[in-house]
Structure 1
Amino acid sequence: MILPTRDCVFQTPGYVPGEQPQTTDFIKLNTNENPYPPPSEIFEVLQGELSKVRLYPDPVSTQLRKAAARVFGVSHEQILAGNGSDDILNIALRTFVNPGETVAFLDLTYSLYETITRVHGAAIKTFPTNEKFELDRPLICPEAKLIFLASPNPPVGQHLNRDYLEETCQKAAGVVLIDEAYVDFSAENHLDFLAKYDNVIISRTMSKSYSLAGMRVGFGIASIPIIEQMDKVRDSYNLDRLAQALGTAAFESYQYFQQVWAKVCQTRERLIKSLKELGFFVFDSDSNFVLASAEWIAASELYSQLKDQKVLVRYFKHPRISNYVRISIGTDEEIDRLLEAITQIKMSH
């Protein structure tokens, strides 16, 4: 049987997420999860929700959005809750872009932007980063109905130039979505853009900084008119009861997570220093991961040899970064094990 698949779907390679091992004996430094669990007290909210699972959840995640509003410093009416921030990206695309219209993003960034744009049947315009993988000019694309810009931008993990981002927002004819998935591991964000530009959406996730990757909780933050239109596109009941309850409780433990973020950043700086001592080039990072390469070993070989030692890092076949591995920040013990493994590999070369 020939399936009546849309051409844009049939011709699009599927998004490839980081490897999820089926055993528990790996040190998992490949998917940028938070290495520390949420505080145990947030799970106390679950018992009351488990008895209600026969009932639909709040379709608009009211309590979660109100808790998020307190943290983000905006009205809850400016917030749309999503099934992870990936849901927010898809909702924005479906809200503001007709098939055939243009979506713009950088040539090296979160690869899901390309996947969802192609599946939607929209046209793609990519803009080059420089040899340091930086945005070295504003992204000006008058035909773009939607611009995706991640800051910090994976896989390098650095913030984009703030002045260029601001000029991009000023001159955009369409909507600019600033993806802040990793922003809590840095000292800056772009929430202030919301008061200046009515065409800006900020996306956030609780997967990384709030240790809830398994629950899939994300947000779009924008002007009320933008949120009102996106809410029409959102799937009904897009967050289940448990996700809403845990997300709300996690925001109420904000001070705990601030301490976790500081610990991750401290470990990140130690990892960068240690990798450099082992002969690596390492980019500075505003995220919970680093991008590194070494002349003494190919990145693909390092990935394979680390995997043999039950340490998972991320290797990309993208030609611009095929000499690099991306390493998530784990606990100090996990990073010690990684460094021991790399030292052993280097000694054998």
Structure 2
Amino acid sequence: MIDNLVNKNIKDFENYTAVSNTDEVILNANENAVDIFKNNLIEKFHKKIDELNFNRYPDSDSYKLRSLFASYVDADIDETIVGVGCDEIINNILDAFVEKDEYTMSIEPTFSMYSVFTAVAGGRYASIPCGADFVPDIDKIINSVNEHNAKVLFLCSPNNPTGYTYSKEQLIKIIENTHCIIVLDEVYSDFADAQYLSLYKTYDRVIVLRTMSKAFSLAGARVGFAVAQKSTMQYLYKVKVPYNLNILSQAAAELMLENPSVMKEYLKITIKNRNELIAKLKQFSQINVYDSKSNFILIKPDNYDKVVKTAAEHKISFKYYSSKTLSDHIRISVGTKEENEKVIMLFSEVYKK
């Protein structure tokens, strides 16, 4: 009986299963390897908790938090929205702009949840294959979007999981030759030297996503942001649920944005560790290493099954892929210097180097 009542858009979905975090070295979810918040701001957080009223709902629109974020990215507060992670904001975008059977698109491979959220919203999702080494074909993106009359185009930059980062010229070319909403997903942009949030000021069809989960090391708080022109942002607020972000997440994110130098200090270390890890991985002729400007690295190693088995034996978690496009590929989150050394030791064991 219950099967007859289920939303047909999700009936055949497979549950998203989060990987276990019981391994000794956890490098599978693109999290920050260091708990910056606990190491630097926990005492201030305890004092902040004393000021909170847990019997009251949180600030429905997270005004103080948005004010701090707006100042951080040089935006007007009315051009911002906060969500329970960027996932909630992506759903807001789909609710506001995509109707039944309308298309959303992105390149393949990219963040897998774009397609899932689109299906749940009743839309259709079409992917645009990349070229060699997962480099996007800009003309193909433009032509595909226009052929499908797509409502929304998601562009993740740096792209998860390939690490590809678009240039400003590429993004402008796409924007000016299409007519859809462009969601510029910059959740990993803190790790790159290419950030284009300011494009929203020129184009009212551009919505930029940012997060506290990656460089700011607050994945557990689930805080995401979007920035867009007021004329665009007004529609996201029409579908936003009230009181969406709890008081603890608001308080933690406020503290991080009040102390951005804490994040920037660790950011330099992460970038240094990433570059060193890429260089060491490239010393193995058996590993194809994709360049990355993010906090993760995509590789395609020879003897894939042995790598998986050896990693499990050493209690090291990587992200493994089963899709045709990413068959035998592994995504490695950048860890601490010590964790990265264990990764290199693992591959040295596999390839007897």
Fold equivalence (TM over 0.5): yes
For each residue in 1:94-149, what CA deviation from the matched residue of structure 2 results, as whole angstroms up to 9, or x when unmatched?
11101211111112100001111111111122212111211122422231111111
Matched with 1:346 is 351
Partner SS for 2:155:
strand
| Partner residue in 1 for 2:190 | 184
Whole-angstrom CA distance in 1 between matches of 2:227 and 2:236: 11
1:33 equivalent among 11, 31, 34: 31
Question: Over the residues paired in the alignment, what is the CA RMSD in angstroms?
Answer: 1.6
1:174 aligns with 2:180: yes
SS state of the match for residue 78, structure 2?
helix
Q: CA deviation at 1:46?
A: 4.0
**Unaligned stretches of 5+ residues in structure 1:** none
The amino acid that maps onto 1:29 is: L
Distance 2:65 2:15 in 1: 31
189-198 or 209-218: which moved more? 189-198
CA contact (8 A) 1:181 1:204 kept: yes
Question: What residue is the counterpart of 2:243 in the other structure?
Answer: 237
Q: Output the CA distance in 2 between the equivalents of 1:90 and 1:157.
A: 24
Correspondence for 2:7: 6
| Alignment of structure 1 residues 27-106 onto 2, 5 Å | 27-39=25-37, 40-43=39-42, 44-49=44-49, 51-106=52-107
Which residue, 217, 228, 234 being the options, matches 2:223?
217
Rounded to whole Å, the distance in 2 between the matches of 1:148 and 1:15 is: 20
**How many pairs does the alignment contain?**
343
Determine which of 250, 266, 280 is the counterpart of 2:256. 250
1:137 is aligned with what amino acid? Answer: I
Cα displacement (A) at 1:235: 1.6
Q: In the superposition, relative to structure 1, how do residues 290 and 6 fare at CA in structure 2: closer, same or farther (>3 Å)?
A: same
Normalization by structure 2: what TM-score?
0.93
Q: Note if contact 1:14-1:115 (Cα within 8 Å) is conserved in structure 2.
A: no
Distance 2:121 2:14 in 1: 13
How far apart, CA to CA, are the structure 1 residues paired with 2:195 and 2:261?
Answer: 18
TM-score (structure 1 length as normaliser): 0.94
Letter in 1 for 2:125: I
Are the equivalent residues in 2 in contact too, given 1:217–1:243 (CA < 8 A)? Answer: yes
Aligned to 1:133: 134
* Paired AA for residue 270 in structure 1: E
Deviations 1:250-293 (A, max 9, x none): 01221121121111111011111111123322111010000112
> In structure 1, the residue corresponding to 2:132 is in which secondary structure?
coil
**Which range is displaced more, 274-283 or 44-53?**
44-53
| Aligned mates of 2:114, 2:318 — CA distance in 1 | 22
Q: Structure 2 CA distance, aligned partners of 1:13 and 1:167?
A: 36
Aligned partner (choices 192, 197, 204) of residue 198 of structure 1: 204
Q: Look up the match of 2:316.
A: 311
The one-letter amino acid paired with 2:64 is: Q
Does residue 285 (structure 1) correspond to residue 292 (structure 2)? The answer is yes
Code of the aligned partner of 2:26: K
Tell me if structure 2 keeps the 8 A contact 1:15–1:111. no
One-letter amino acid of the counterpart of residue 334, structure 1: E
Secondary structure of the structure 2 residue equivalent to 1:135:
coil
Residues 1:320 and 2:325 are matched in the alignment: yes
Q: Does residue 234 of structure 2 align to residue 228 of structure 1?
A: yes
2-structure distance, mates of 1:304, 1:91: 40
Aligned CA distance change for structure 1 residues 200 and 293 (closer, same or farther; 3 Å): same
* Structure 1 stretch displaced more, 249-258 or 75-84: 249-258
CA contact (8 A) 2:70 2:76 kept: yes
> Cα–Cα, structure 1 residues 14 and 163, in superposed 2: closer, same or farther, change >3 Å?
farther
Aligned residue in 2 for 1:155: 161
- Deviation per CA, 1:17-67: give whole Å up to 9, x if none: 4x132x3x5200010100112244533234443651121100000011011
Offset at residue 347 of structure 1 (A): 2.1
Which deviates more, 37-46 or 95-104? 37-46
Percentage identity across paired residues of the two chains: 29
